[in-house]
Amino acid sequence: MKKEQVANCQFSVWYPLFKKHTIKSLILPLPQNVIEYLLDDGTLVVSGSDNNNQSSQNNNSGSEDEDDVQWSDDETTTVVTAPEFPEFSCEVQEAINSLGGRVFPKLNWSAPRDANWIALNSSLQCQSLSDIFLLFKSSDFITHDLTQPFLQCNDDSPDPVMNYELVLRKWSELIPGGEFRCFVKENKLIGISQRDYTQHYQHISKQEESISSSIQKFFREHVQHQFLNEDFVLDVYRDSMGRVWLIDFNPFGEVTDSLLFTWEELKTGTNLSLQDGPAFRYTNSDVTVQPSPCLSYRIPRDFMDLSTGEDAYKLIDFLKLKKGQQDDEEDDDDEEPHMASV
Ligand SMILES: Nc1ncnc2c1ncn2[C@@H]1O[C@H](COP(=O)(O)OP(=O)(O)OP(=O)(O)O)[C@@H](O)[C@H]1O
Ligand SMILES: [Mg+2]
């Protein structure tokens, strides 16, 4: 995979060419100070959000020697305030409003798909810049775009000059069973995979032929020989009326998830008999339903509840557990750490 091929998959490169066939979107250049804020992995502070940090009430009624938890340390305590980007924020808000008030955010290539669990609505739907910042700052995919977009390229040409951009796409309720990923090699559509392979969708097996032929027709009429690379991966959506929409272009290589194919198959053509058109793969009913591919990016629910104080009983249990552990440690100091004694 060449750097140029990756660069060609940036949103602002393909969007003007395929505008008619995809979801309405706006592209805003990311100011340098916003990029720096996104890359700064200090405390996550998001401006414009409801910061109900009640000022810590220091009524030290409890005896100090009993509880030596240090909530603050005079030397290191600083008041962390969220940086403000008034001009950029106005620009973003205007763009969001003009797209109907709810957007799906991306950078040049990636959406923060690995961070949806952190949002209050557990979704990537955003209504303001602070919603976007919360997702972007929590996402490894966004960091990848910002820091090493050409990591897996194998040519030694200099890195293309980057102009980072915030992409705002009009929010659309896409039904996961309507999403497909298409693999294109030398401008030939060689494979189509159900995108959400963790689920079995009955309609896909029933309508296999009509889905495949409508995607092939869309590809022939609107995409083939019109994209800058001859090898690429195309994401499409087939709506309930049977109309096919373009969702995204991705590089043809390991940076892109090969879903129900392997990259070996796609690159060498093994197991793909292409006489009757592209190979079409979907999850069968007898395949056990698999976990969501982004699960590994989450932190355990308990940590979230503890850190937000969401579940007071959990916090009490946790403190009791800690206290118990401390007592145990005092009892047998030189033993190995252990989880719990039965
Ligand atoms: N405008 C939109 N409104 C609502 N949901 C969307 C929108 N665009 C995309 N999605 C959903 O988000 C998912 C990811 O979108 P997209 O493919 O643009 O992200 P990506 O970061 O490029 O993903 P990948 O890394 O798999 O290429 C899509 O599969 C779709 O379910
Ligand atoms: Mg993509």
The per-residue pLDDT for range 161-173, each reduced to its tens digit, is 999 999 999 999 9
Query: CB-based contacts of 322: which residues, under 8 Å, 6+ apart?
Result: none
With a 6 Å cutoff on the Cβ, whether 248 touches ligand 1 is: yes
Q: What's the rounded mean pLDDT across residues 242-251?
A: 98
Is the pLDDT reported for residue 53 higher than 50?
no
Q: What's the rounded mean pLDDT across residues 114-121?
A: 86
| Helical H segments across the chain, by residue range | 3-8, 11-18, 32-39, 86-98, 129-137, 140-147, 202-206, 208-218, 263-268, 301-308, 312-331
Question: From ligand 1's centre to the CA of 117, what distance in Å?
Answer: 15
Q: How confident is the model at residue 57 (pLDDT cuts 50, 70, 90)?
A: very low
Q: How confident is the model at residue 80 (pLDDT cuts 50, 70, 90)?
A: low
- Residue in 104, 180, 246, 292 to alter for ligand 1 test, most ligand atoms within 8 A of Cβ: 104
Residue 254 or 308, more confident: 254
In angstroms, the CA 167 to CA 12 distance is: 8
| Cβ atoms of 262 and 191 closer than 8 Å | no
Sign of CA dihedral 231, 277, 17, 181: negative
% of the chain residues with pLDDT over 90: 66
Closest residue by Cα to residue 216 from 241, 253, 184: 184
Per-residue pLDDT, 323: 64
Residue 256 or 82, more confident: 256
With a 6 Å cutoff on the Cβ, whether 230 touches ligand 1 is: no
Query: CB-based contacts of 29: which residues, under 8 Å, 6+ apart?
Result: 163, 164, 165, 166
Q: What's the rounded mean pLDDT across residues 239-266?
A: 97
Report the predicted TM-score, pTM, of the whole model to 2 decimal places: 0.80
In angstroms, the CA 175 to CA 191 distance is: 21
Per-residue pLDDT, 318: 63
CA dist 257 to 6, 64, 102, 242, 260, Å? Answer: 14, 54, 27, 25, 9
Is the pLDDT reported for residue 225 higher than 70?
yes
Closest residue by Cα to residue 3 from 139, 227, 161, 119: 161
Per-residue pLDDT, 205: 93
Question: From ligand 2's centre to the CA of 95, what distance in Å?
Answer: 22
Rounded to a whole number of angstroms, the distance between the first and last alpha carbons of the chain is 54
| Cβ atoms of 168 and 11 closer than 8 Å | no
Q: Is 323 exposed, middle or buried (0-12, 13-18, 19+ CB in 10 A)?
A: exposed
Residue 57 or 136, more confident: 136
Per-residue pLDDT, 54: 39
- List the residue whose alpha carbon is closest to atom 15 of ligand 1: 111
In angstroms, the CA 255 to CA 11 distance is: 16
The distance from CA 221 to its chain's CA centroid, rounded to whole angstroms, is 30
Per-residue pLDDT, 340: 39
Question: From ligand 2's centre to the CA of 36, what distance in Å?
Answer: 24
Is the pLDDT reported for residue 152 higher than 60?
yes
Query: CB-based contacts of 195: which residues, under 8 Å, 6+ apart?
Result: 176, 179, 180, 181, 235, 259
Tell me which of 61-65, 103-107, 213-217 is least confident.
Answer: 61-65
With a 6 Å cutoff on the Cβ, whether 196 touches ligand 1 is: no
Q: Residue 235 — φ and ψ, nearest 5°?
A: -100, 135
Q: How confident is the model at residue 79 (pLDDT cuts 50, 70, 90)?
A: low
Per-residue model confidence as pLDDT tens digits over 29-42: 999 999 999 999 76
Q: What's the rounded mean pLDDT across residues 328-332?
A: 60
Is the pLDDT reported for residue 70 higher than 80?
no
| Cβ atoms of 1 and 154 closer than 8 Å | yes
Task: Tell me whether 0.95 is exceeded by the ipTM.
Answer: yes
Query: CB-based contacts of 216: which residues, under 8 Å, 6+ apart?
Result: 189, 277, 278
Closest residue by Cα to residue 234 from 282, 191, 178: 191
pLDDT, the chain, mean: 85
Rg (CA), the chain: 25
Per-residue pLDDT, 211: 97
Residue 55 or 181, more confident: 181
Q: How confident is the model at residue 235 (pLDDT cuts 50, 70, 90)?
A: very high
Q: What's the rounded mean pLDDT across residues 272-284?
A: 90
Instruction: Give 27's strand partners.
Output: 167
Residue 232, SS3 per DSSP? strand
The count of C-alpha atoms lying within 13 angstroms of the C-alpha of 70, restricted to the half-sphere facing its C-beta, is 6
Per-residue pLDDT, 73: 54
| Cβ atoms of 105 and 124 closer than 8 Å | yes
Is the pLDDT reported for residue 180 higher than 80?
yes
In angstroms, the CA 312 to CA 326 distance is: 21
Is the pLDDT reported for residue 49 higher than 50?
no
Q: Which ligand is nearest to the CA of 195?
A: 1
Is the pLDDT reported for residue 305 higher than 80?
no
